[in-house]
Copies of this chain bind each other. A is one copy, B any other.
Amino acid sequence: MDEINVAFLGAGRMGMTHLRNLVGIPGVRVRVVADTNLDSAQQGAALVRADRASNDIAATIGAADVDAVLIATSTGTHAELIEACVRAGKPVWCEKPVALTLVETRRVVDTVEAAGVPVMIGFMRRFDPGYAAAKQKIESGDIGRVERFRAVSGDLAPPSLAFIKTSGGMFVDFFVHDLDLARFLVGEIEEVNAWGSVLIDPGFVDAGDVDTAVAMLRFRDGALGVLEGSRRSTWGYDIRTEVAGSRAKLVIEAPRKTPLLTMQDLGVTEDHYESFPDRFHEAYHAELEFFFASLRAGTPPAPGVRDALETLRVALAAAKSMAEGRPVKVDEIQ
């Protein structure tokens, strides 16, 4: 496979970000950008000088000049599109999540594993230089036995209540990245205990969700963890993860966004990230590089659909724990 010819599905805001990243990757050529909105497709195609734009997604997937498909369409379409691709024998990179339900996710896993076609899911935080370096240190044994995990997440402002209603809820939608990191950095989770609260907006109650939550994680090997987060952290996009081992502790937290310190009024101030494209800029680029490097090397790109499934089970266990006020074993979620 000399040059990899790519179809890109979904030219929305994140799609454009991914397209821009694609351009810098040598040996990758975007043949077609497809979107149900032809205008968007054309804008995306123009951005990367693709051969063509299309609003026929099915035809795009099947096109003879397409070696691999990248999916950045809306969440509800992921499962079907992944399945269509693997049936067509086309390797896939798809934005997370695969699906919001266990049944649908499991069906995709079965389809993908039966087809044996490489599929990678966009848990981009794994590719942030901080998390990637942490993973390496943990795997190399540098921090000894992993004993504790901690994650905090906060978005500058909550999404609309309309979105909340279809989001899958605080654990499936919001904490999914933290749970994926917990599994990535520490290992499989055996049991979850979660509490939630509505502190920001009473509308969350009507939406059947919470806006603030905490959880405890018990990993299979005995390590313990905590999770904490809010749909609104007015001071910035607040993502911080810690992994403590018998020999060292790793803290993954972005330093100031801009290399400027202001000393004034007996204080020193630095600025802070606002949102995920901002904070995880490099990670978005690195994950696509890794996807294509895996295709070239013939090694399975990770994280794949099974990772998405396992992380979803933990998220659903947390949601169940919160709903029922008791610890829930991940094995209850089948």
Question: Which A residues contact B (CB, under 8 angstroms)?
Answer: 20, 23-24, 26, 29, 47, 49, 128-130, 133-134, 137, 143-145, 147-148, 150, 152, 154, 193, 195-200, 212-216, 218, 222-228, 230, 232-236, 238, 242, 244, 246-272, 274, 325-327
B234 near A199: Cβ-Cβ < 8 Å: no
The answer to whether residues A226 and B226 also contact, given A261-B250, A272-B263 and a CB cut-off of 8 A, is yes
A271 contact set on B, CB distance < 8 A: 266-268
Copy number in the complex reads 4
A198 contact set on B, CB distance < 8 A: 222
Q: List 29 A-B contacts (CB under 8 A).
A: A24-B24, A133-B260, A134-B260, A137-B260, A137-B262, A147-B199, A150-B228, A193-B195, A195-B218, A195-B224, A197-B222, A213-B224, A224-B228, A230-B244, A233-B249, A234-B246, A234-B264, A234-B265, A235-B248, A235-B249, A235-B267, A236-B267, A247-B264, A249-B263, A255-B270, A266-B272, A267-B272, A268-B272, A325-B327
Bound: A202/B129 CA distance, A = 36
Please give the distance in Å from A209's CB to the nearest CB on chain B: 15
A148 contact set on B, CB distance < 8 A: 212, 214, 228, 230
A269 contact set on B, CB distance < 8 A: 267-269
A130 near B259: Cβ-Cβ < 8 Å: yes
B263 near A248: Cβ-Cβ < 8 Å: yes
B144, B248, B260, B265: the one contacting A250 at CB < 8 Å is: B260
B255 near A255: Cβ-Cβ < 8 Å: yes
A250 near B272: Cβ-Cβ < 8 Å: no
The answer to whether residues A212 and B235 also contact, given A268-B272, A269-B268, A327-B325 and a CB cut-off of 8 A, is no
